[in-house]
Chains A and B, each alone.
Chain A
Amino acid sequence: MTQKYSDFMRWTSRVVILSMLVTGLPLQSAFAGMVETDQAVANDLAGQDRARINAFIDREDVLAQLQNQGVTAGEAKARVNALTDDEAHNIAGKLDQLPAGGEVLSVLLTVFIVLLVTDILGFTKVFPFTKSIKR
Protein backbone atom coordinates (compact mmCIF):
# COMPACT_ATOMS: atom_id res chain seq x y z
CA MET A 1 0.00 0.00 0.00
CA THR A 2 1.40 3.39 -0.87
CA GLN A 3 1.68 6.11 1.74
CA LYS A 4 -0.76 8.26 -0.19
CA TYR A 5 -3.35 5.53 -0.41
CA SER A 6 -3.17 4.69 3.28
CA ASP A 7 -3.45 8.38 4.15
CA PHE A 8 -6.50 8.54 1.96
CA MET A 9 -7.97 5.46 3.69
CA ARG A 10 -7.22 6.86 7.10
CA TRP A 11 -8.98 10.12 6.40
CA THR A 12 -11.89 8.40 4.74
CA SER A 13 -12.41 6.21 7.76
CA ARG A 14 -12.13 9.22 10.04
CA VAL A 15 -14.88 10.96 8.13
CA VAL A 16 -17.00 7.82 8.31
CA ILE A 17 -16.41 7.50 12.05
CA LEU A 18 -17.23 11.15 12.62
CA SER A 19 -20.44 10.90 10.65
CA MET A 20 -21.41 7.79 12.58
CA LEU A 21 -20.72 9.61 15.82
CA VAL A 22 -22.84 12.55 14.76
CA THR A 23 -25.79 10.39 13.81
CA GLY A 24 -25.11 8.31 16.91
CA LEU A 25 -26.40 5.13 15.36
CA PRO A 26 -23.83 2.39 15.94
CA LEU A 27 -22.74 3.66 19.33
CA GLN A 28 -25.79 2.66 21.34
CA SER A 29 -24.35 0.65 24.19
CA ALA A 30 -26.18 -2.17 25.94
CA PHE A 31 -25.87 0.00 29.00
CA ALA A 32 -28.30 2.68 27.83
CA GLY A 33 -29.16 5.43 30.25
CA MET A 34 -26.39 4.69 32.71
CA VAL A 35 -23.26 6.70 33.39
CA GLU A 36 -20.35 4.27 33.03
CA THR A 37 -17.90 4.03 35.91
CA ASP A 38 -14.99 5.33 33.83
CA GLN A 39 -17.10 8.36 32.90
CA ALA A 40 -17.68 8.98 36.59
CA VAL A 41 -13.96 8.57 37.28
CA ALA A 42 -12.99 11.14 34.64
CA ASN A 43 -14.54 14.26 36.08
CA ASP A 44 -12.57 16.68 33.96
CA LEU A 45 -14.45 15.86 30.79
CA ALA A 46 -14.86 19.30 29.34
CA GLY A 47 -17.02 18.30 26.43
CA GLN A 48 -17.67 14.57 26.50
CA ASP A 49 -18.47 14.51 22.81
CA ARG A 50 -15.14 15.94 21.78
CA ALA A 51 -13.37 13.50 24.09
CA ARG A 52 -15.34 10.66 22.55
CA ILE A 53 -14.52 11.69 19.00
CA ASN A 54 -10.83 12.05 19.85
CA ALA A 55 -10.86 8.62 21.46
CA PHE A 56 -12.30 7.07 18.32
CA ILE A 57 -9.68 8.69 16.14
CA ASP A 58 -6.88 7.54 18.47
CA ARG A 59 -8.17 3.98 18.48
CA GLU A 60 -8.48 3.88 14.75
CA ASP A 61 -4.91 5.15 14.50
CA VAL A 62 -3.56 2.51 16.87
CA LEU A 63 -5.48 -0.19 15.04
CA ALA A 64 -3.85 0.76 11.74
CA GLN A 65 -0.40 0.98 13.30
CA LEU A 66 -0.66 -2.41 15.01
CA GLN A 67 -1.41 -3.94 11.64
CA ASN A 68 1.51 -2.04 10.10
CA GLN A 69 3.75 -3.64 12.75
CA GLY A 70 2.67 -7.11 11.71
CA VAL A 71 -0.30 -7.87 13.96
CA THR A 72 -3.23 -9.64 12.26
CA ALA A 73 -6.43 -7.65 11.74
CA GLY A 74 -8.55 -9.66 14.15
CA GLU A 75 -5.99 -9.64 16.94
CA ALA A 76 -5.28 -5.93 16.44
CA LYS A 77 -8.96 -5.21 17.01
CA ALA A 78 -9.03 -7.19 20.25
CA ARG A 79 -5.86 -5.45 21.41
CA VAL A 80 -7.22 -1.98 20.74
CA ASN A 81 -10.41 -2.95 22.52
CA ALA A 82 -8.45 -3.72 25.69
CA LEU A 83 -6.89 -0.23 25.80
CA THR A 84 -8.40 2.63 27.78
CA ASP A 85 -8.99 5.93 25.98
CA ASP A 86 -5.99 7.41 27.77
CA GLU A 87 -3.73 4.52 26.81
CA ALA A 88 -4.83 4.69 23.17
CA HIS A 89 -4.20 8.42 23.21
CA ASN A 90 -0.72 8.00 24.69
CA ILE A 91 0.48 5.64 21.98
CA ALA A 92 -1.45 6.91 18.94
CA GLY A 93 0.92 8.07 16.24
CA LYS A 94 4.07 6.73 17.90
CA LEU A 95 3.95 2.96 18.00
CA ASP A 96 7.20 2.86 16.10
CA GLN A 97 9.09 5.08 18.56
CA LEU A 98 7.95 3.85 21.97
CA PRO A 99 10.10 1.43 23.96
CA ALA A 100 9.25 -2.15 23.00
CA GLY A 101 10.67 -4.51 25.59
CA GLY A 102 12.15 -7.49 23.79
CA GLU A 103 15.86 -7.53 24.50
CA VAL A 104 17.16 -7.29 20.96
CA LEU A 105 20.86 -7.88 20.76
CA SER A 106 22.69 -7.20 17.54
CA VAL A 107 25.57 -5.18 18.80
CA LEU A 108 28.28 -3.49 16.75
CA LEU A 109 31.83 -4.22 17.82
CA THR A 110 32.48 -0.74 19.21
CA VAL A 111 29.25 -0.77 21.12
CA PHE A 112 30.03 -4.27 22.33
CA ILE A 113 33.25 -3.06 23.97
CA VAL A 114 31.52 -0.05 25.47
CA LEU A 115 28.73 -2.15 26.90
CA LEU A 116 31.19 -4.72 28.22
CA VAL A 117 32.95 -1.98 30.16
CA THR A 118 29.74 -0.39 31.42
CA ASP A 119 28.44 -3.85 32.43
CA ILE A 120 31.54 -4.47 34.50
CA LEU A 121 31.23 -1.03 36.05
CA GLY A 122 27.63 -1.89 36.95
CA PHE A 123 25.97 0.85 34.88
CA THR A 124 24.35 -1.63 32.50
CA LYS A 125 23.45 -5.34 32.44
CA VAL A 126 23.47 -6.42 28.83
CA PHE A 127 25.49 -9.62 28.87
CA PRO A 128 24.64 -12.64 30.99
CA PHE A 129 28.31 -13.49 31.50
CA THR A 130 29.40 -10.20 33.07
CA LYS A 131 29.73 -9.72 36.76
CA SER A 132 29.69 -6.19 38.06
CA ILE A 133 32.51 -5.01 40.32
CA LYS A 134 29.89 -2.92 42.07
CA ARG A 135 28.49 -3.73 45.40
Chain B
Amino acid sequence: MPATAETIVGVFAHVDTTVRALEELRAKGYHDLTVYTPVPVHEIEEVLERDRPVSRVRLFTLIGGLTGIVSAFLLTIWTSLVWGLVTGGKYFQFGPGGIVGSSLPPFVIIAFELMVLFGGIATVIGMVMLGRLPRFRPSASFDPRFTNDRFGIAVHCAPGRSPSVREILRTAGAEEVRA
Protein backbone atom coordinates (compact mmCIF):
# COMPACT_ATOMS: atom_id res chain seq x y z
CA MET B 1 0.00 0.00 0.00
CA PRO B 2 1.57 3.37 -0.99
CA ALA B 3 2.09 5.90 1.80
CA THR B 4 -0.42 8.28 0.29
CA ALA B 5 -3.26 5.74 0.34
CA GLU B 6 -6.34 6.24 2.47
CA THR B 7 -8.26 3.74 4.53
CA ILE B 8 -12.02 4.00 4.90
CA VAL B 9 -13.77 1.80 7.48
CA GLY B 10 -17.42 0.84 7.32
CA VAL B 11 -19.13 -0.66 10.40
CA PHE B 12 -22.05 -3.02 9.76
CA ALA B 13 -24.58 -4.65 12.05
CA HIS B 14 -25.71 -7.34 9.62
CA VAL B 15 -24.18 -10.05 7.51
CA ASP B 16 -26.28 -9.42 4.40
CA THR B 17 -25.40 -5.72 4.27
CA THR B 18 -21.71 -6.57 4.69
CA VAL B 19 -21.89 -9.04 1.84
CA ARG B 20 -23.68 -6.50 -0.34
CA ALA B 21 -20.97 -3.91 0.31
CA LEU B 22 -18.24 -6.44 -0.45
CA GLU B 23 -19.78 -7.45 -3.75
CA GLU B 24 -20.25 -3.82 -4.74
CA LEU B 25 -16.67 -2.88 -3.82
CA ARG B 26 -15.22 -5.76 -5.77
CA ALA B 27 -17.38 -4.97 -8.77
CA LYS B 28 -16.02 -1.42 -8.72
CA GLY B 29 -12.46 -2.74 -8.65
CA TYR B 30 -11.50 -2.29 -4.98
CA HIS B 31 -9.58 -5.41 -4.03
CA ASP B 32 -7.42 -4.18 -1.15
CA LEU B 33 -9.92 -4.93 1.62
CA THR B 34 -9.72 -6.11 5.21
CA VAL B 35 -12.89 -7.62 6.65
CA TYR B 36 -13.34 -7.91 10.41
CA THR B 37 -15.87 -10.38 11.81
CA PRO B 38 -16.58 -11.61 15.36
CA VAL B 39 -16.99 -15.16 14.02
CA PRO B 40 -16.05 -16.73 10.71
CA VAL B 41 -19.12 -16.19 8.53
CA HIS B 42 -19.74 -18.50 5.63
CA GLU B 43 -21.40 -15.89 3.40
CA ILE B 44 -18.52 -13.44 3.78
CA GLU B 45 -15.88 -16.10 3.30
CA GLU B 46 -17.58 -17.16 0.10
CA VAL B 47 -17.07 -13.69 -1.39
CA LEU B 48 -13.51 -13.32 -0.12
CA GLU B 49 -12.19 -16.78 -0.92
CA ARG B 50 -13.47 -16.77 -4.50
CA ASP B 51 -10.15 -15.96 -6.12
CA ARG B 52 -7.75 -16.86 -3.31
CA PRO B 53 -5.62 -19.98 -3.04
CA VAL B 54 -6.25 -22.29 -0.04
CA SER B 55 -4.43 -21.21 3.13
CA ARG B 56 -0.84 -22.42 3.19
CA VAL B 57 -1.13 -23.67 6.78
CA ARG B 58 -1.58 -27.19 5.45
CA LEU B 59 1.93 -27.08 3.98
CA PHE B 60 3.31 -26.46 7.47
CA THR B 61 1.34 -29.43 8.79
CA LEU B 62 2.66 -31.70 6.06
CA ILE B 63 6.28 -30.70 6.57
CA GLY B 64 5.93 -30.96 10.35
CA GLY B 65 4.34 -34.40 10.14
CA LEU B 66 6.96 -35.76 7.74
CA THR B 67 9.74 -34.35 9.93
CA GLY B 68 8.18 -36.16 12.87
CA ILE B 69 8.05 -39.51 11.06
CA VAL B 70 11.60 -39.26 9.75
CA SER B 71 13.09 -38.12 13.04
CA ALA B 72 11.25 -40.87 14.98
CA PHE B 73 12.64 -43.61 12.71
CA LEU B 74 16.11 -42.07 12.83
CA LEU B 75 15.98 -41.88 16.63
CA THR B 76 14.70 -45.40 17.22
CA ILE B 77 16.85 -47.14 14.61
CA TRP B 78 20.01 -45.23 15.43
CA THR B 79 19.66 -45.76 19.20
CA SER B 80 19.07 -49.49 18.80
CA LEU B 81 22.19 -49.67 16.65
CA VAL B 82 24.40 -47.91 19.24
CA TRP B 83 22.80 -49.65 22.25
CA GLY B 84 22.23 -53.18 21.05
CA LEU B 85 19.74 -54.35 23.64
CA VAL B 86 18.10 -57.63 22.72
CA THR B 87 14.60 -57.93 24.18
CA GLY B 88 12.18 -60.67 23.30
CA GLY B 89 14.62 -61.95 20.68
CA LYS B 90 14.14 -58.70 18.76
CA TYR B 91 17.02 -56.47 17.83
CA PHE B 92 18.01 -54.18 15.05
CA GLN B 93 21.43 -54.60 13.49
CA PHE B 94 23.17 -54.06 10.18
CA GLY B 95 24.59 -57.43 9.20
CA PRO B 96 26.30 -58.88 6.14
CA GLY B 97 22.95 -59.48 4.43
CA GLY B 98 21.61 -56.01 5.12
CA ILE B 99 19.35 -55.30 8.09
CA VAL B 100 19.16 -58.23 10.51
CA GLY B 101 16.40 -58.53 13.10
CA SER B 102 12.86 -57.30 12.87
CA SER B 103 11.90 -54.67 15.36
CA LEU B 104 10.51 -52.02 13.04
CA PRO B 105 6.79 -52.46 13.95
CA PRO B 106 7.08 -51.04 17.49
CA PHE B 107 8.96 -48.05 16.08
CA VAL B 108 5.87 -47.17 14.03
CA ILE B 109 4.15 -46.20 17.28
CA ILE B 110 6.89 -43.70 18.10
CA ALA B 111 6.74 -42.43 14.50
CA PHE B 112 2.99 -41.93 14.76
CA GLU B 113 3.23 -39.98 18.01
CA LEU B 114 6.03 -37.75 16.76
CA MET B 115 4.17 -37.16 13.49
CA VAL B 116 1.20 -35.82 15.45
CA LEU B 117 3.41 -33.81 17.80
CA PHE B 118 5.56 -32.14 15.17
CA GLY B 119 2.64 -31.76 12.75
CA GLY B 120 0.49 -30.07 15.40
CA ILE B 121 3.18 -27.68 16.53
CA ALA B 122 4.08 -26.81 12.93
CA THR B 123 0.39 -26.08 12.23
CA VAL B 124 0.26 -23.55 15.04
CA ILE B 125 3.54 -21.97 13.94
CA GLY B 126 2.05 -21.72 10.45
CA MET B 127 -1.13 -20.11 11.73
CA VAL B 128 0.79 -17.56 13.79
CA MET B 129 3.20 -16.70 10.99
CA LEU B 130 0.67 -16.49 8.16
CA GLY B 131 -1.85 -14.58 10.29
CA ARG B 132 0.97 -12.16 11.23
CA LEU B 133 0.54 -12.69 14.94
CA PRO B 134 1.41 -11.52 17.53
CA ARG B 135 0.49 -7.89 16.91
CA PHE B 136 1.57 -5.51 19.59
CA ARG B 137 -0.57 -2.55 18.50
CA PRO B 138 -4.10 -2.73 17.14
CA SER B 139 -4.21 -1.74 13.47
CA ALA B 140 -5.67 1.68 12.71
CA SER B 141 -8.84 0.33 11.14
CA PHE B 142 -9.68 -2.06 14.02
CA ASP B 143 -12.61 -1.33 16.32
CA PRO B 144 -13.30 -3.24 19.58
CA ARG B 145 -16.88 -3.85 18.43
CA PHE B 146 -15.56 -6.15 15.72
CA THR B 147 -14.89 -8.93 18.22
CA ASN B 148 -18.34 -8.53 19.75
CA ASP B 149 -21.27 -8.10 17.37
CA ARG B 150 -20.27 -5.80 14.51
CA PHE B 151 -18.75 -6.50 11.10
CA GLY B 152 -16.21 -4.16 9.56
CA ILE B 153 -14.82 -3.52 6.09
CA ALA B 154 -11.62 -1.51 5.76
CA VAL B 155 -11.00 -0.33 2.19
CA HIS B 156 -7.51 0.76 1.26
CA CYS B 157 -7.77 3.06 -1.74
CA ALA B 158 -6.03 5.85 -3.61
CA PRO B 159 -6.54 9.26 -1.94
CA GLY B 160 -8.93 10.66 -4.52
CA ARG B 161 -11.31 7.68 -4.39
CA SER B 162 -12.52 8.00 -0.83
CA PRO B 163 -15.86 9.78 -1.56
CA SER B 164 -16.87 6.97 -3.91
CA VAL B 165 -15.92 4.30 -1.33
CA ARG B 166 -17.88 6.08 1.39
CA GLU B 167 -20.86 6.22 -0.95
CA ILE B 168 -20.70 2.47 -1.65
CA LEU B 169 -20.44 1.57 2.03
CA ARG B 170 -23.27 3.88 3.03
CA THR B 171 -25.61 2.71 0.27
CA ALA B 172 -24.99 -0.93 1.19
CA GLY B 173 -26.19 -0.17 4.72
CA ALA B 174 -23.20 0.69 6.91
CA GLU B 175 -24.11 2.02 10.35
CA GLU B 176 -21.04 4.16 10.45
CA VAL B 177 -18.35 5.16 7.95
CA ARG B 178 -15.07 6.67 9.09
CA ALA B 179 -11.56 7.24 7.85
A and B held together in a complex: no
